[in-house]
């Protein structure tokens, strides 16, 4: 395999070095690493076409690898084969500030993109926290704290250039902001986690940087009150830009880690985007709502450094949990439910964590009905991993029974495959048929998204 890929791509684009093989064996999830046979570093779409042709002819699995920041094992080559690194496909192909759109290669990262476009008064809205690659974010339909206002990756993608397993290069959309032409392939490929084709160009919508940004936070005596407040804010039609729940255990951890003195209580963190007057007005409406619901510690900031400080607790949560036990890893749930059911599921999740005796917090994108648990565990203690899986399982099953989804933004990868039948029912059969039709030899990231029937 090594010599053949060197013949096709040139020596500098192929590696079997221990470091590269190890680096491409894992992501940031709790799933066990598996080493690829080889890592390739294409620099253009022609390279990708050649790699796919070689892999398809020889039935060798290919697994795209972005920034390695995935949380469900999407980039782990569980059937070995070829790991495709996009580190050399990190160019901006075209940028039209007047159309507020940009076309990038998949290896461009979120912060790299924002660095380039911010000076034009524009920003890319999806913020999953990590400096993920754009390709990886498309592959998992990533979202994050700002999705409540600006939507998920799927809402930003205007067009994808995709290389299919048969070597054909297709475009799934156009540069038009909306279209009713043909079947909507954008939607199908966003979130397909490398199982249907490899993206080589990605065209995204951008947004104007708001004139004013205001950050705020407040706390309540119960998580239930937090969610009630979030719910009332949405019903009032406030176009909130971010609205995050952090539970009291998480606040306590942050205080210990960052020497801060946040009130140790379930808290909401807000961001408002708009005009100077507009954000003040929205914030004052929200202040009224949270105060009617019993919150007494509303704080706001507009200065950019002070805003960052105010949000520190939210941003440093994962670090805070790991701080005291740097050898432990963090894993957790990612369900999304209708907002009227959110309190029930969050309270249930919190009680499971408490009963387990494990250290863990609950945080959530409450405006979307999406939340995560952070649970600390020791990778070498299978009992702890079992316990996390058991807790996740109960949270997912409750969420599905309430009309929700097993993953709001992390994707299916390896960890959510077992819920696909329950969540999608007979639609799963159609998904499997689409997969088989597009990738009959099952070379595209095999073992991900869909259950084993396909293998």
Q: What are phi and psi of 366, to 5 degrees?
A: -65, -25
* 419 alpha carbon, distance to own chain's centre: 18
Residue 275, classified by CB atoms within 10 Å of its CB into exposed (0-12), middle (13-18) or buried (19+), is: exposed
Cβ of residue 409: shortest distance to a second copy, in angstroms? 5
Site for a second copy in 71-110 (CB under 8 A): 96, 98-101
Task: Indicate whether 234 belongs to the interface with a second copy (CB under 8 A).
Answer: yes
Pick the stretch among 11-19, 249-257, 337-345, 379-387 that binds a second copy (CB under 8 A). Answer: 337-345
Task: Indicate whether 179 belongs to the interface with a second copy (CB under 8 A).
Answer: yes
Residues 6+ apart with CB under 8 A from 70: 27, 28, 29, 132, 136, 140, 410, 411, 413
Site for a second copy in 273-292 (CB under 8 A): 274-275, 277-278, 281-282, 285
Task: Indicate whether 192 belongs to the interface with a second copy (CB under 8 A).
Answer: yes
Task: Indicate whether 322 belongs to the interface with a second copy (CB under 8 A).
Answer: no
Among 6, 8, 175, 293, binds a second copy (CB under 8 A): 175
Buried b (16+ CB within 10 A) or exposed e, 43-54: bebebbbbbbeb
**How many residues interact with a second copy (rule CB under 8 A)?**
96
Which of 33, 145, 156, 20 has the alpha carbon at shortest distance from 88? 20
Among 182, 304, 327, 455, binds a second copy (CB under 8 A): 182
Site for a second copy in 237-276 (CB under 8 A): 237, 239, 274-275
Kindly tell me which of 271 and 409 has the beta carbon lying closer to a second copy: 409
Q: How far apart are CA 66 and CA 64, in angstroms?
A: 7
Helix (H, G, I), strand (E, B) or coil at 61: coil
Task: Indicate whether 304 belongs to the interface with a second copy (CB under 8 A).
Answer: no
Kindly tell me which of 36 and 447 has the beta carbon lying closer to a second copy: 447
Task: Indicate whether 141 belongs to the interface with a second copy (CB under 8 A).
Answer: yes
Cβ of residue 212: shortest distance to a second copy, in angstroms? 11
Among 10, 208, 294, 440, binds a second copy (CB under 8 A): 208
Give Cα separations from 326 to 72, 250, 322, 323, 378 (angstroms): 21, 16, 5, 6, 10
Site for a second copy in 377-416 (CB under 8 A): 402-412, 416
Which of 11, 18, 57 has the alpha carbon at shortest distance from 36? 18
Kindly tell me which of 376 and 396 has the beta carbon lying closer to a second copy: 396
Site for a second copy in 354-373 (CB under 8 A): 368-370
Quote the strand ranges of 196-354, DSSP E.
198-205, 207-208, 212-219, 242-246, 267-274, 299-301, 329-331
Among 183, 261, 355, 357, binds a second copy (CB under 8 A): 183
Among 438, 446, 447, 448, binds a second copy (CB under 8 A): 438
Among 190, 226, 229, 395, binds a second copy (CB under 8 A): 190
Pick the stretch among 108-116, 185-193, 247-255, 384-392 that binds a second copy (CB under 8 A). Answer: 185-193
Among 45, 53, 80, 154, binds a second copy (CB under 8 A): 154
Among 289, 336, 375, 414, binds a second copy (CB under 8 A): 336
Kindly tell me which of 9 and 126 has the beta carbon lying closer to a second copy: 126
Q: How far apart are CA 139 and CA 106, in angstroms?
A: 10
Which of 204, 30, 28 has the alpha carbon at shortest distance from 130? 28
Task: Indicate whether 202 belongs to the interface with a second copy (CB under 8 A).
Answer: no
Kindly tell me which of 9 and 142 has the beta carbon lying closer to a second copy: 142
Longest dimension (CA), the chain: 70
Q: Are strands 329-331 and 242-246 parallel, antiparallel or unpaired?
A: unpaired
First-last CA distance in the chain: 22
Can you read off the two tokens belonging to residue 275? 């005009």
């Amino acid at each position: 395999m090594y010599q053949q890929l060197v013949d096709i791509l040139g020596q500098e684009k192929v590696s079997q070095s221990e470091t590269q093989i190890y680096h491409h064996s894992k992501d940031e999830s709790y799933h066990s690493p598996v080493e690829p046979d080889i890592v390739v570093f294409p620099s253009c779409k022609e390279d990708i076409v050649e790699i796919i042709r070689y892999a398809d002819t020889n039935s060798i699995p290919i697994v795209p690898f972005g920034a390695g920041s995935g949380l469900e094992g999407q980039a782990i080559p569980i059937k070995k084969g070829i790991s495709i690194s996009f580190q050399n496909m990190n160019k901006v192909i075209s940028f039209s500030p007047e159309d507020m759109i940009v076309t990038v290669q998949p290896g461009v990262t979120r912060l790299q993109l924002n660095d380039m476009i911010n000076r034009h008064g524009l920003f890319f809205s999806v913020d999953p926290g990590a400096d993920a690659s754009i390709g990886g974010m498309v592959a998992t339909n990533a979202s994050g704290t700002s999705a409540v206002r600006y939507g998920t990756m799927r809402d930003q993608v205007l067009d994808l250039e995709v290389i299919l397993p048969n070597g054909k290069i297709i475009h799934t959309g156009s540069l038009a902001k909306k279209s009713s032409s043909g079947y909507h392939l954008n939607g199908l490929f966003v979130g397909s986690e490398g199982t249907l084709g490899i993206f080589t160009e990605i065209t995204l919508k951008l947004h104007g940087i708001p004139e004013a940004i205001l950050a705020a936070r407040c706390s309540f005596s119960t998580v239930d009150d937090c969610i009630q407040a979030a719910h009332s804010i949405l019903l009032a039609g406030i176009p909130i830009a971010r609205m995050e729940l952090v539970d009291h255990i998480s606040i306590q951890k942050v205080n210990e880690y960052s020497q801060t003195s946040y009130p140790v209580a379930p808290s909401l963190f807000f961001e408002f985007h708009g005009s100077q007057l507009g954000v003040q007005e929205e914030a004052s409406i929200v202040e009224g709502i949270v105060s009617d619901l019993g919150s007494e510690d509303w704080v706001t900031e507009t200065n950019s450094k002070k805003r960052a400080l105010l949000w520190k607790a939210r941003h440093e949560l994962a670090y805070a949990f790991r701080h005291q036990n740097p050898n432990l890893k963090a894993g957790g749930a990612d369900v999304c439910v209708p907002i009227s059911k959110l309190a029930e599921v969050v309270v249930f999740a919190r009680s499971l964590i408490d009963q387990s005796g494990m250290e863990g917090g609950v945080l959530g994108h409450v405006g979307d009905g999406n939340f995560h648990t952070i649970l600390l565990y020791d990778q070498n203690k299978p009992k702890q991993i079992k316990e996390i899986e058991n807790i996740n399982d109960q949270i997912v099953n409750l969420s599905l029974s309430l009309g929700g989804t097993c993953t709001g933004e992390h994707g299916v990868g390896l960890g959510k495959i077992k819920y696909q039948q329950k969540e999608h029912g007979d639609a799963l059969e159609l998904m499997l048929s689409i997969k088989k039709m597009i990738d009959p030899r099952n070379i595209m990231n095999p073992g991900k998204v869909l259950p084993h029937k396909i293998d």
